[in-house]
């Protein structure tokens, strides 16, 4: 088990270092790696929303999925499975994304922002932990989205097939895609570097089961710090990297691709953390699980992408200027909907002790 812990820490550390390098090579500041932002950019690149500054098919994400797919095939862990309340997962993914785009980042970017000295991310972290605590309470009360069942193996390849197709478009037919001319979407490291770094991250994340939400969740739940080592390693290495290249700036105001509205930084990440616990993992983990053949996670990714498109089509997403009123309403609505889904998927009467074999 010690070697596993080392692997989680190494994965986190390499992810943190790669993020700093990606920023040096062109990615937006404190955004070397961000699953939420990059899925949002991909939604834009495919034209699902038309927010001009955030359109770019991020090779980091495509590489991550392909890397995790290769690792899972290589180790025989690839397995087509699904059927655990797929559309509820879609909805949870949708609302989690709204929360993350109000905060401006997924749990990975939250840590990267902290490592860049962005105190707003500290407020977001408190919100994330609060959301995880609420989600854990529901899990303790018996919340479950039910069992997934084995599927025909072809089903497990569909998600990675889509990702492969998007990569082919990016490499061979980029004229079909949208590319930002300015704004965060226009800031990116060279395609091949992003792709290779994505492959490495995906391969390692599959092997180590790195999960940012899982780290906080397992510590609160079981006092098990295993996955927190990954969380801490992302922070430590990104911090060291930022200090080395002079990208560390402490404070609340003037942080890159961030806003200073504490209430909404907090509540946005509460929504994201709560929904992610119910989903069984952070967006990074969902991408890896989808690549491993989990079609429920693939549906969750579709929910993320739909949420990202809605966030920009309806003007919900935050910007450095702050959080629009519509975005604030959307976060409250999201919290109410996640609350309803939390209760709806709890058993009517929950007993402690030996409750085995639920939801089959």
Partner 1 sequence: MEKEVDARGLLCPEPVLLTKQVLDAVPGGIVKVLVSNAAARENVSRLAENRGWRVEVSRQNEDFLLVLQK
> Least distance (Å) from partner 1 to the CB of residue 357?
5
Task: Check residue 139 for interaction with partner 1 (CB under 8 A).
Answer: yes
Each residue 207-246 as x (binds partner 1 by CB under 8 A) or -, in order, gives --x-x--x--xx--xx-x-x--------------------
- Indicate the residue among 75 and 244 with the shorter CB distance to partner 1: 75
Stretch that binds partner 1, among 23-31, 48-56, 80-88, 121-129 (CB under 8 A): 80-88
Find the binding residues for partner 1 in span 289-348 (CB under 8 A): 289, 292, 294, 296
Question: What are the phi and psi torsion angles at 323 (to 5°)?
Answer: -105, 120
- Indicate the residue among 132 and 237 with the shorter CB distance to partner 1: 132
Question: How many residues of this chain interact with partner 1, rule: CB under 8 A?
Answer: 41
Task: Check residue 352 for interaction with partner 1 (CB under 8 A).
Answer: yes
CB 38 within 8 A of CB 60: yes
- Indicate the residue among 1 and 154 with the shorter CB distance to partner 1: 1
CB 283 within 8 A of CB 65: no
- Indicate the residue among 188 and 226 with the shorter CB distance to partner 1: 226
- Indicate the residue among 8 and 310 with the shorter CB distance to partner 1: 8
> Least distance (Å) from partner 1 to the CB of residue 64?
17
Stretch that binds partner 1, among 43-51, 119-127, 254-262, 279-287 (CB under 8 A): 279-287
Task: Check residue 150 for interaction with partner 1 (CB under 8 A).
Answer: yes
Catalog residues that contact partner 1 under the rule CB under 8 A. Answer: 1, 4, 75, 77, 79, 81, 83-84, 139-140, 144, 146-150, 209, 211, 214, 217-218, 221-222, 224, 226, 279-281, 289, 292, 294, 296, 352-360
């Amino acid at each position: 088990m010690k070697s596993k812990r080392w692997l989680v820490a190494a994965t986190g550390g390499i992810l943190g270092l790669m993020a700093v390098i990606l920023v040096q090579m062109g990615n937006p500041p404190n955004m070397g790696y961000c699953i939420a932002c990059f899925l949002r950019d991909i939604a834009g690149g495919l034209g699902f929303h038309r927010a001009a500054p955030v359109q770019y098919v991020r090779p980091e994400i495509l590489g991550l999925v392909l890397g995790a797919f290769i690792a899972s095939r290589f180790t025989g862990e690839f397995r087509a499975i699904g059927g655990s309340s797929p559309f509820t997962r879609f909805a949870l993914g949708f609302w989690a994304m709204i929360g993350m785009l109000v905060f401006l980042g997924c749990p990975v970017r939250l840590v990267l922002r902290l490592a860049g000295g962005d105190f707003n991310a500290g407020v977001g972290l408190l919100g994330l932990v609060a959301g995880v605590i609420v989600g854990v309470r529901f899990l303790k009360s018996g919340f479950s989205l039910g069992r997934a069942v084995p599927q025909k193996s072809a089903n497990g390849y569909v998600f990675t097939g889509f990702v492969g197709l998007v990569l082919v478009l990016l490499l061979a037919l980029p004229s079909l895609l949208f590319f930002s001319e300015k704004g965060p979407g226009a800031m990116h490291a060279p395609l091949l570097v992003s792709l290779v770094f994505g492959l490495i991250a995906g391969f390692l994340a599959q092997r180590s089961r790195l999960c940012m939400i899982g780290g906080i969740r397992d510590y609160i739940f079981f006092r098990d710090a295993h996955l927190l080592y990954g969380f801490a390693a992302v922070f430590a290495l990104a911090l060291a990297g930022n200090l080395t290249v002079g990208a560390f700036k402490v404070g609340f105001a003037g942080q890159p691709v961030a806003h200073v509205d504490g209430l909404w930084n907090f509540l946005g990440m509460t929504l994201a953390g709560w929904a992610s616990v119910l989903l069984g993992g952070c967006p990074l983990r969902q991408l890896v699980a989808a690549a491993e053949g989990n079609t429920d996670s693939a549906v969750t990714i579709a929910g993320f992408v739909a949420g990202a498109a809605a966030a920009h089509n309806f003007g919900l997403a935050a910007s450095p200027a702050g959080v629009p009123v519509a975005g604030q309403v959307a976060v409250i609505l999201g919290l109410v909907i996640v609350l309803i889904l939390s209760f709806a998927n709890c058993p009517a009467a929950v007993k402690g002790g030996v409750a085995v074999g639920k939801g089959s």
